[in-house]
Amino acid sequence: MNPIEAGNYTIYFNEDCYDHLQKILAIGGYTGIFILADTNTSQYCLPNFLAQLATELPIEIIEIEAGEPNKSLETCTEVWHALTDLGAERKSLIINIGGGVVTDLGGFVASTFKRGIDFINIPTSLLAMVDASVGGKTGVDLGVLKNQIGVINNPVAVLIDTNFLTTLPQMEMRSGLAEMLKHGLIADKTYWDNFSDLGNMTTDDLGALIHWSVEIKNNIVEQDPNEKGLRKLLNFGHTLGHAIESHFLNSATPQLHGEAVAAGMVLESYIAMAKGLLVEEEYDEIRSVILSIFGTVSFTAKDVEDIIGLLVHDKKNEGGRVLFVLPDGIGSAVINKKAENILIIKAFEDYQK
Ligand code: NAD
């Protein structure tokens, strides 16, 4: 699979990854490597990675607890301390090997440690491969509020080795599919059409779709890296999705990021239909494809009230107005759209009907 140029860095795939890593290490002038993994990726991914890493540089491994509740400033503090205690310096390189929690948090830690050191992302979850590891957004949650603290800063490279997916739990695979569906819905109907029948999908098909998804995201990010306008498209499903994820974060029924975004995309598509942007057949198609993969989340009236209350914290809000990205057809979307609370409530009713 061809590498993808992403502004000042490159995204490499599969067999190309390790050759290019050696080249980066050879010319980077680094004094040491600090690998950040979580409790799962240090077990399932790190041994394979280390077996392919040939370097004379000293290597230290820093492990964090797995899971979204650990994408916090407290974990950052632990990692900053570990880096300090282990002697990290300006010319150290951080390699983040993990899902979106590790790449988001590790990118933020690297971008702020000693005012910024280089980092490489090695995504090991489907969601991190197609979305979180590319585009330069780094950061952590503040309490339950998603991604409230962070910076946009690119890695030195992203290395996508789809072999890591063999140990990824099925529910995490499904979570990653949500962001792939999003890429189709906002930008490419042909891409979306690949997901109507997942039953016949082969590993090769999946590899090609991952590459295609990264191309779609990168194409949007390159046109608007600092999210002044167009990049907001990538937030489709996330206004309600983030609020759903926050609402259930510390509950007995936490929703994975992709699961929450999947529900958010159905809800926001309903709003788009109600506003005349989508025709009913398109809404029905989006709803049935997504619900056939993800099932339906149950929301009580109190859940809906609380989720709507959380929308005031969304990062896209301007002047206190909650703004949505809404599809205006399959493969196209518009930004900065308002929706009345009554319409949001109706969207939840239709979602659960
Ligand atoms: P995650 O990092 O929590 O990974 C999911 C789970 O899978 C974790 O338990 C992890 O340990 C495990 N895991 C990862 N790779 C594995 C492997 N190969 N084998 C076995 N287990 C493995 O979550 P995620 O779904 O990867 O990412 C979600 C996060 O990404 C959220 O915090 C979200 O906000 C963020 N995100 C960021 C961006 C961005 O642009 N920066 C975009 C989308 C999502």
Query: pLDDT per residue over 34-59, tens digit each?
Result: 999 999 999 999 999 999 998 999 99
Q: Give the whole-angstrom CA distance, residue 102 versus residue 104.
A: 6
pTM of the predicted model as reported, rounded to 2 decimal places: 0.95
The fourth-level CATH superfamily of domain 170-351 is Dehydroquinate synthase-like - alpha domain (1.20.1090.10)
Going by CA atoms, what residue is nearest to atom 20 of ligand 1? 168
pLDDT value at 317 more than 90: no
pLDDT of residue 108: 98
The binding-site residues of ligand 1, defined as CB within 6 angstroms of any ligand atom, are: 38, 40-41, 44-45, 66-68, 71, 98-102, 104, 124-125, 127-128, 131-132, 135, 137, 146-147, 164, 167-168, 172, 175, 179, 257
pLDDT at 267: 98
CA 340 to chain centre: 28
> Does residue 209 register a pLDDT over 90?
yes
pLDDT in tens, 135-186: 999 999 999 899 999 999 999 999 999 999 999 999 999 999 999 999 999 9
Confidence of residue 201 (pLDDT cuts 50, 70, 90): confident
Tokens of 10: 């490159």
Name which of 23-37, 156-170, 194-208, 326-340 the model is least confident about: 194-208
Report residue 97's pLDDT band, with 50, 70 and 90 as the boundaries: very high
> Cβ neighbours of residue 224 under 8 Å, at least 6 residues apart?
230, 231
The answer to whether residues 132 and 103 touch, using CB atoms and an 8 Å cutoff, is: yes
pLDDT in tens, 251-260: 999 999 999 9
Which of 103, 126, 127, 141 gets mutated to test ligand 1 (max ligand atoms within 8 A of its CB)? 127
Query: Is residue 350's pLDDT more than 90?
Result: yes
pLDDT at 313: 86
Pairing of strands 333-337, 32-38: unpaired
The CATH number, out of the four listed (3.40.50.1970, 3.40.50.2300, 3.30.830.10, 2.60.120.10), of the domain defined by the range 4-167: 3.40.50.1970
Which residue's CA is the nearest one to ligand 1's atom 29? 100
Please say if the pLDDT value at position 293 is more than 90: yes
Q: What is the pLDDT of residue 319?
A: 81
pLDDT attached to residue 8: 94
In this structure, the chain runs to a length of: 353
Mean pLDDT, residues 177-197? 95
- The Cβ-side half-sphere exposure at 64, using a 13 Å CA radius, reads 33
Instruction: Note the pLDDT of residue 199.
Output: 78
Domain boundaries, the chain: 4-167, 170-351
Percent of the chain residues past pLDDT 90, beyond the cut: 92
